[in-house]
Amino acid sequence: MKKYAIITACNAKYEKFLLNHWLKSLLNNINTKLINIIVLDYGLSKEYVKNLKSKGIKVIPCKPEGHIVNQRFSDTKRFLKKNSYQQIIFCDSGDIIFQEDITHLFLKENKNFRIITEKLKNPFYKYLMINNPIKKELKIKIINLLKKNPMINAGFIIAPKNEFIELCEFVENNILEKNTFGPDQFLINLFLYEKGFIELENKFNFIPLVSAEKFKIKRGIFFNEKDEIIPIVHNAGNLSFVRSIDNFGYGERFNKLKRHIYFLFRISSKIYTSIYLNKIYKTIQNNN
């Protein structure tokens, strides 16, 4: 058994990106002698499952019982309880590429959760928070946290195995309706702010839409202001039209900044103040 695992979840909708971009870039930027790659399968086609297995990927069939972003925590918990990894990386697979070796991330601060926080406020979280199936008292706790603290991004988490199982159980136990997108993000924020974490440099989960740092794209590769390659790029967004990178992928033919979305988001973020969060707080308090 290898010491470390990278775990993701995918269905047929994102299988092409998983194989041709996420996995291709990952295999070029990890030490596979130390790390297993695990894909939780929520309806991948037989052709893609066969292709993944031919590359040494462990594919775990899972029965869809809710939205994939919620269900993956229950299935990850079950998988980890049966396997003896020391550390895991848990990450999205439909909107992330890897540009430099990330193996070293398993070795640093390895008794703690390691994550990045989003430096710009996301105005879309208002609607996700109000309509999310989370207990009212937990929503109020989360709002109070996010008034004072930046949002933790749940799309890339590094953790010791047992601590991650705790997180999975917390998410699993506190989502009231598992078919809705988004409650995991807020519950993870609550859990980690109470549990504690080490904050990574943003380059280890660089999200163009919510990063305060400038970047450039040359020949399909993302660079920071110092012309250094950004190790992990995450083109986050529930809906494709709000993602800031068009034709996102791994290779010279990919990646073009959608300038109208990028700059509109920044303008919106500047007016997303504590007053705005107070409005969400009052709405939640008044809801039955």
pLDDT of residue 157: 98
Domain that holds residue 10: 4-119+151-204
Decide which of 65 and 249 is more confident.
249
pLDDT band per the 50, 70, 90 thresholds, residue 66: confident
Q: 257: exposed, middle or buried (C-beta count within 10 Å: 0-12, 13-18, 19+)?
A: middle
pLDDT of residue 161: 97
On whether the CB atoms of residues 15 and 39 are closer than 8 A, the answer is no
On whether the CB atoms of residues 113 and 159 are closer than 8 A, the answer is yes
pLDDT band per the 50, 70, 90 thresholds, residue 48: very high
State the CB neighbour count (10 A cutoff) for residue 10: 26
pLDDT, averaged across the chain? 89
Residue from 95, 87, 109 nearest 30 by CA? 87
Q: What is the mean pLDDT of residues 77-85?
A: 96
Handedness of CA 266, 271, 277, 279 (dihedral sign): negative
Helix (H) or strand (E) holding 98: strand 96-98
- For residue 20, being part of any structural domain is answered with yes
Residue with tokens 């790029």: 233
* pLDDT exceeds cutoff 70 at 145: yes
pTM: 0.91
pLDDT of residue 261: 76
User: How far apart, in whole angstroms, are the C-alpha atoms of residue 241 and residue 89?
Assistant: 28
* pLDDT exceeds cutoff 80 at 207: yes
Among 70-74, 102-106, 273-277, whose mean pLDDT is lowest?
273-277
- For residue 286, being part of any structural domain is answered with no
User: How far apart, in whole angstroms, are the C-alpha atoms of residue 227 and residue 223?
Assistant: 5
Q: What is the mean pLDDT of residues 100-127?
A: 85
* pLDDT exceeds cutoff 60 at 274: no
- Number of domains making up the chain: 1
- For residue 191, being part of any structural domain is answered with yes
Print the SS3 string covering 197-220.
Answer: CEECCHHHHECCCCCCCCEEEECC
Decide which of 218 and 143 is more confident.
218
Who contacts 288 (Cβ-Cβ below 8 Å, separation ≥6)?
none
- For residue 124, being part of any structural domain is answered with no
User: How far apart, in whole angstroms, are the C-alpha atoms of residue 138 and residue 188?
Assistant: 11
3-state SS, residue 97: strand
Question: CA 275 from chain center: how many Å?
Answer: 27
* pLDDT exceeds cutoff 60 at 213: yes
User: How far apart, in whole angstroms, are the C-alpha atoms of residue 256 and residue 217?
Assistant: 7
pLDDT of residue 271: 61
Q: What six digits make up the tokens of 244?
A: 């800031």
- For residue 270, being part of any structural domain is answered with no
Size of the chain, expressed as the number of residues it contains:
288
Who contacts 257 (Cβ-Cβ below 8 Å, separation ≥6)?
208, 217, 244, 245, 246
pLDDT of residue 241: 67
User: How far apart, in whole angstroms, are the C-alpha atoms of residue 176 and residue 213?
Assistant: 36
pLDDT band per the 50, 70, 90 thresholds, residue 268: low
On whether the CB atoms of residues 284 and 129 are closer than 8 A, the answer is yes
Residue from 211, 58, 185 nearest 128 by CA? 185
- For residue 268, being part of any structural domain is answered with no
- For residue 146, being part of any structural domain is answered with no
Alpha-helical segments (H) within 175-273: 183-195, 259-270
CATH number of the domain residue 51 falls in: 3.90.550.10
Handedness of CA 232, 272, 274, 179 (dihedral sign): negative
Question: CA 264 from chain center: how many Å?
Answer: 23
Handedness of CA 172, 176, 179, 184 (dihedral sign): negative
* pLDDT exceeds cutoff 70 at 239: no
* pLDDT exceeds cutoff 60 at 63: yes
Quote the percentage of the chain above a pLDDT of 90: 66
Q: What is the mean pLDDT of residues 225-230?
A: 97
* pLDDT exceeds cutoff 90 at 246: yes
User: How far apart, in whole angstroms, are the C-alpha atoms of residue 250 and residue 230?
Assistant: 13
